[in-house]
Structure 1
Amino acid sequence: MKNQKIEVSIEKSNDGTYWGTSQNFEGIVTTFGNSLEELISNFENAFADHIEVAKDLGETYANKFDNVEFDYKMNLTSFFELVPELKISSIAKKANMNESLLRQYKNGLTTASREQTRKIQEAVHELGRELLSVQF
Structure 2
Amino acid sequence: METKFKVSIEKQKDGSYIAYNMNGEGYSLIGTGTTVKEAKEDFLNSMQAFKEMEEEEKGTAMPILSNEPEFKFDISSLFEYYSMLNVSAFARFLGINETLMRQYKKGNTYVSDAQLMKIENGIHKLGAEFSGLKLV
Fold-level match, TM-score > 0.5? yes
TM-score, normalised with respect to structure 1? 0.61
CA deviation digits over 1:56-96, x for unaligned, max 9? 8xxxxxxxxx5547431122101112223322233223323
- Greater mean alpha carbon deviation, residues 41-50 or residues 125-134: 41-50
CA contact (8 A) 2:11 2:74 kept: no
CA contact (8 A) 1:32 1:43 kept: no
Aligned residues: 122
Q: Which residue of 1 is the match for residue 92 of structure 2? A: 93
Q: Which amino acid aligns with 1:126?
A: K
Q: Which amino acid aligns with 2:45?
A: N
> What is the Cα deviation at residue 107 of structure 1?
0.9
CA deviation digits over 1:94-114, x for unaligned, max 9? 323222221111111023233
Secondary structure of 2:123's counterpart equals: helix
Question: What fraction of aligned residue pairs are identical, expressed as a percent?
Answer: 32
- CA, structure 1 residues 39+18, in 2 after alignment: closer, same or farther (shift >3 Å)? farther
Q: CA RMSD in A?
A: 3.7
Mapping of residues 1-136 of structure 1, within 5 Å: 3=2, 6-11=5-10, 19-24=18-23, 25=25, 28-32=28-32, 35=37, 38-39=41-42, 41-46=44-49, 48=51, 52=54, 66=62, 68=64, 70-132=69-131, 133-136=133-136
Structure 2 gaps, min length 5? none
Q: Distance in 1 between matches of 2:124 and 2:105?
A: 17
TM-score, normalised with respect to structure 2? 0.61
- Greater mean alpha carbon deviation, residues 17-26 or residues 73-82: 17-26
- CA, structure 1 residues 38+127, in 2 after alignment: closer, same or farther (shift >3 Å)? same
CA deviation digits over 1:34-76, x for unaligned, max 9? 84774463243255468x4xx98xxxxxxxxx55474311221
